[in-house]
Amino acid sequence: MLQSSYLKVLDGRAAFDGRSSFRTWLFAVIRRTAAEHRRRRMLRRLWPMRVALDGAGEPVDPAPDAAAALGREESNERLRSALAVLPRRQREVLHLVFYQELSIREAAGVLAISIGSARVHYERGKSRLRTLLGTEGDA
């Protein structure tokens, strides 16, 4: 984890802009790198389940956790439906942050909006998703 973080700094993918202390910035780089590793690990675990399902959504080879995989697929469909209800800007910011793995600052740059506006769309979008999906935890 630390090595990946240091490589980001050395490669210039993470640049210190002086708006915080160096220590705070470095911990943020490490935290984001850890989050990226967690996401990748989760996607690697989910990929075999996705491949095991045919086009109809039925397991090709029934496995003990096939019911769990179908439950996740239903959850994914609920999430896609909830995202479709969100306003365009909220949906775009959430997509860039969660699926494209950009920071809110980077998403703001892509969308050509201020960082404050991106944060507001991000928080409102997450809040609305929690309401639509009926969950209490972070989206």
Could you tell me the CATH number of the domain that includes residue 93?
Answer: 1.10.10.10
Residue written as tokens 């979008």? Answer: 125
| Residue 59 DSSP code | B
Separation between Cα atoms, residue 89 and residue 25, nearest integer Å: 28
Is residue 25 included in any domain, yes or no? no
In contact, 46 and 72? CB cutoff 8 Å? yes
Is residue 51 included in any domain, yes or no? no
Among candidate residues 107, 134, 131, the one with its CA nearest the CA of residue 118: 107
Is residue 94 included in any domain, yes or no? yes
Is residue 46 included in any domain, yes or no? no
Is residue 137 included in any domain, yes or no? yes
Is residue 120 included in any domain, yes or no? yes
Neighbours of 45 (CB within 10 A): 9
pLDDT digits (tens, 9 = 90+) for 22-81: 888 888 888 888 888 888 777 776 655 554 444 444 444 545 566 666 666 777 788 888
- For residue 110, give Cα distances in angstroms to 45, 88, 124, 132, 139: 30, 14, 19, 27, 22
Separation between Cα atoms, residue 35 and residue 85, nearest integer Å: 27
Query: Given pLDDT bands bounded at 50, 70 and 90, which one contains residue 120?
Result: very high
pLDDT at 121: 95
Is residue 110 included in any domain, yes or no? yes
Residue 90 has pLDDT above 70, yes or no: yes
Domain count, the chain: 1
Is residue 12 included in any domain, yes or no? no
Range of the domain at 109: 86-139
Amino acid at 40: R
